[in-house]
Amino acid sequence: MNITADMVKTLREKTSAGVMDCKEALTKADGDMEKAISYLREKGKAKAAQKAGRETKDGMVGAYIHPGSKLGVLIEVNCETDFVARTEEFKTLVKELAMQIAASNPLVLRREDLSQEIVEKEKEIYRNQALNEGKKEEIVERIVNGRMEKFYREVCLLEQPYIKDEDKKVQELLDEFIAKLGENISIRRFARFRLGE
């Protein structure tokens, strides 16, 4: 199939990937835009996995104050070098992550950061709900597991749907920037402040 410049441009606008990466993805997907997007996401995950072990000791602290000044977020995002930390792309990522936290109020970065006490309490609530709904004992555990996955998507930043693209998780957004910037990037910590809380 003949890959046109317009097709490459459209894919670039949707994914922010490089021109050559977009052309390669469209070629592999025989011009199918959705398959090309999936290909680029997988490629981003693979690149991110290769860089995952590398130390991130540079970066920046970003802030977002919601209009009205009643809600604010501070976030520390790390990368490998100050060169990348000073790029517009990195600053954009930090701002996007801060806005994500402001909008979706995660409790922790990843599910492993949740205390065992919170996890057990949630499981107990879901178990009781399922039993009160008259569910059979043998399927209660599956129901609890399903509801826990939903809970993790709500409270763990990396598992949340990205506010600007619900089909993408925050982890996938991070992977895309790792692939684009060529360095490992990690979120170290964040805090969300609401006036009066």
pLDDT digits (tens, 9 = 90+) for 14-67: 766 677 778 888 888 888 888 887 877 777 655 555 555 666 788 999 999 999
> Smallest Cα–Cα separation from 89: which of 173, 192, 1?
173
Question: Is there a contact between 51 and 186 (Cβ–Cβ < 8 Å)?
Answer: no
108/173 Cα distance (integer angstroms): 17
Residues 102, 45 within the same domain: no
Q: What value does the mean pLDDT of the chain take?
A: 88
The pLDDT tens digits of the residues spanning 28-43 come to 888 888 888 787 777 7
30/151 Cα distance (integer angstroms): 38
Residues 123, 164 within the same domain: no
Residues 92, 167 within the same domain: yes
Q: Which tops the pLDDT comparison, 45 or 7? A: 7
Q: Which tops the pLDDT comparison, 10 or 101? A: 101
Residues 9, 104 within the same domain: no
**Rounded percentage of the chain residues whose pLDDT exceeds 90:** 56
Domain of 13 in residue numbering reads as: 5-51
Tokens representing residue 1 in the block: 């199939």
CA 58 to chain centre: 20
Residues 135, 63 within the same domain: no
Looking at residues 119-125, what average pLDDT do you find?
94
Residues 13, 99 within the same domain: no
pTM: 0.71
